[in-house]
Amino acid sequence: MIIEDLGNDPINTLTPKAVQYFEIHPTHPQERLLSASALMLSKGAVFAIPTDSSYALVCQLDDPKAVQRMRQIRGIDERHLLTLLCRDLTQLASYAKVDNRQYRLLKAATPGAFTFILDATKEVPKRVSHPQRKTIGLRVPNHPVVQGLLRLHEQALLCTTLILPGEDAALNDPDEIRTRLGHQIEGLMDAGAVSQEPTTVLDLTPMNHSGEPILIRQGGGDLSLLGISLHAN
């Protein structure tokens, strides 16, 4: 079944193998479409969703089959660090070890286009954290659709930027995503085009030993929000 927001309550059907397509408002997402998407994710679906820094693939954290399919679509192996999308800092603290200094920095920068590398807690399955360092990438996105989805799903979602094998840029056109991935994913939340600028990635683990954050990648996150000195990787 394909659900599209083309009127008050339109529901169209296609073949069972077709991607479930949700045309969703980018700033005032429809609750019924968020609920349908959250339910599908809870049953093991892989979705393409908009974020504040590109479209991304997402799935449940504790579903190894969905995680593996997401890696296969991206063409990445177990060494590629995946990211957890969290609704807020309270949820983030369930998956990462955060001290007071780190928390102040996170509070200044979230929600927003930042990805933070932190030490993972035991809540994070070993298969999705860094195999040697026991770290995880986390972010609190500033996008109404993702925020609504996280609110209803009630758990963090595992995500990876929607960059296909052999390509450098993230897919940004929902129609192209639907055409190219329509039989590899279960759901697509179409909120129109979003930014193609990646997140700013900061490694906060040196702060555990009185060090400064390390800038891994400069992206859409505004570093002036942090008010600290940074070391580039």
Indicate the domain borders of the chain.
2-232
Q: And the tokens for 43?
A: 């049953």
The answer on pLDDT for 6 being more than 60 is no
pLDDT of residue 86: 96
If we measure between CA atoms, which residue out of 100, 136, 101 comes closest to residue 116? 136
The answer on pLDDT for 91 being more than 60 is yes
Mean pLDDT of 115-135: 81
Tell me which DSSP letter residue 147 carries.
H
Helix (H, G, I), strand (E, B) or coil at 159: strand
The answer on pLDDT for 5 being more than 80 is no
User: Can you spell out the DSSP letters for 165-197?
Assistant: TT-SS----HHHHHHHHTTT-SEEEE------P
Integer Cα distance of 129 and 53 in angstroms:
22
| pTM confidence score | 0.86
Integer Cα distance of 220 and 140 in angstroms:
13
Residue 134 to residues 71, 123, 157, 192, Cα–Cα distance (Å): 19, 12, 18, 36
pLDDT of residue 128: 73
Integer Cα distance of 135 and 130 in angstroms:
5
pLDDT of residue 102: 94
Using a pLDDT cut of 90, give the percent of the chain over it.
65
The residues, any chain, with a CB within 8 Å of residue 224's CB and separated by 6 or more, are none
What's the longest Cα–Cα distance across the chain? Answer: 57
Q: What is the pLDDT of residues 102-123, one digit of tens each?
A: 999 999 999 999 999 999 988 8
pLDDT of residue 3: 38
Higher pLDDT, residue 18 or 75: 75
Q: What is the pLDDT of residues 172-189, one digit of tens each?
A: 899 999 999 988 999 999
Question: In the CATH hierarchy, which top-level class contains the domain 2-232?
Answer: alpha beta
Q: What is the pLDDT of residues 61-71, one digit of tens each?
A: 989 999 999 99
Integer Cα distance of 74 and 68 in angstroms:
10
Strands 20-23 and 83-85: unpaired
pLDDT-derived band of residue 2, with 50, 70 and 90 as boundaries?
A: very low
Q: What is the pLDDT of residues 27-67, one digit of tens each?
A: 999 999 999 999 999 999 999 999 998 999 999 998 999 99
Phi, psi of 136, deg, nearest 5: -145, 145
Q: And the tokens for 101?
A: 């200094």
Q: What is the overall mean pLDDT for the chain? A: 87
Tell me which DSSP letter residue 209 carries.
G
Tell me which DSSP letter residue 199 carries.
P
pLDDT of residue 78: 81
Q: Are 105 and 228 in contact (CB under 8 A)?
A: yes
